Chains A and B, each alone.
Chain A
Amino acid sequence: AQSVTQLDSQVPVFEEAPVELRCNYSSSVSVYLFWYVQYPNQGLQLLLKYLSGSTLVKGINGFEAEFNKSQTSFHLRKPSVHISDTAEYFCAVVKRGYQKVTFGIGTKLQVIP
């Protein structure tokens, strides 16, 4: 079975500073990788996804992530954060050919003005 580890439960960062949210996964087979954002009392919104091809994936709101197969990582980055980026971010993995999604525990990004 696949698993997802988000190493940081909370990440405080000043506004306009860069941020990296870490995600590592383990799986014995090929997977698809996702990052989702959840604002308070809301559902999840897809930020970006890696299916195949280029390992650098660009998503919405200026976020990007890089798939590193050798390190089994899919870290999320943004060069300059805004107050509105304050939310919880979930890394997720889906085993290719299947539909069930496995989520990480989430990382709360707190942008400090």
Chain B
Amino acid sequence: GAVVSQHPSWVICKSGTSVKIECRSLDFQATTMFWYRQFPKQSLMLMATSNEGSKATYEQGVEKDKFLINHASLTLSTLTVTSAHPEDSSFYICSAPPDSGQGYGYTFGSGTRLTVV
């Protein structure tokens, strides 16, 4: 089945630095990638949608300049948390929709636990 590889699994960084998270579709082409953020004891909140060859679409309230999303190719999407602060500490998960876009089940990455100290 479809697999999305997400790296790193966890990262600790100093406040003010930037962190890049990668999601790769291993055996299929993902023209779209969804990026979610999950706070403790809460559900997944969609942050943005990346599209290969065009600008990402951000959800209301998400800072575009802070969360840079790049869909470099049909198999790679990245999320860069710029000038990270402790409040950015969270669990970030990417998800690719099925190729047909017909809702057959979305493939999720394994998640990245970001801790900003």
Contacts and interface: CB of A to CB of B under 8 A. Distances in A.
Contact of A101 (B6, B42, B95, B111): B95
A51 B110 contact: no
B103 A51 contact: yes
Contacts of B10: 41
**Size bracket, chain B contacts:** 20 to 34
A61 interface: no
B67 interface: no
Contacts of B42: 105-106
B94 to A, nearest CB: 8
A100 B34 contact: yes
B61 interface: no
A103 B43 CA distance: 7
Interface string A76-113: 00000000000000100010100111011110000000
Given A101-B46, A103-B44, A51 B104 contact: yes
Nearest to A104: B43
A99 B101 contact: yes
A46 interface: yes
A36 B111 CA distance: 14
28 contacts: A34-B105, A41-B10, A42-B110, A43-B6, A43-B109, A44-B95, A45-B108, A46-B106, A49-B105, A51-B103, A51-B104, A90-B43, A90-B44, A96-B103, A99-B32, A99-B34, A99-B49, A99-B97, A100-B34, A100-B46, A100-B49, A101-B95, A101-B106, A103-B43, A103-B44, A104-B43, A105-B42, A106-B43
Given A41-B9, A101-B34, 14 more contacts: A42-B111, A43-B6, A44-B44, A45-B108, A49-B105, A51-B103, A51-B104, A99-B32, A99-B34, A99-B101, A101-B46, A101-B106, A104-B43, A105-B42
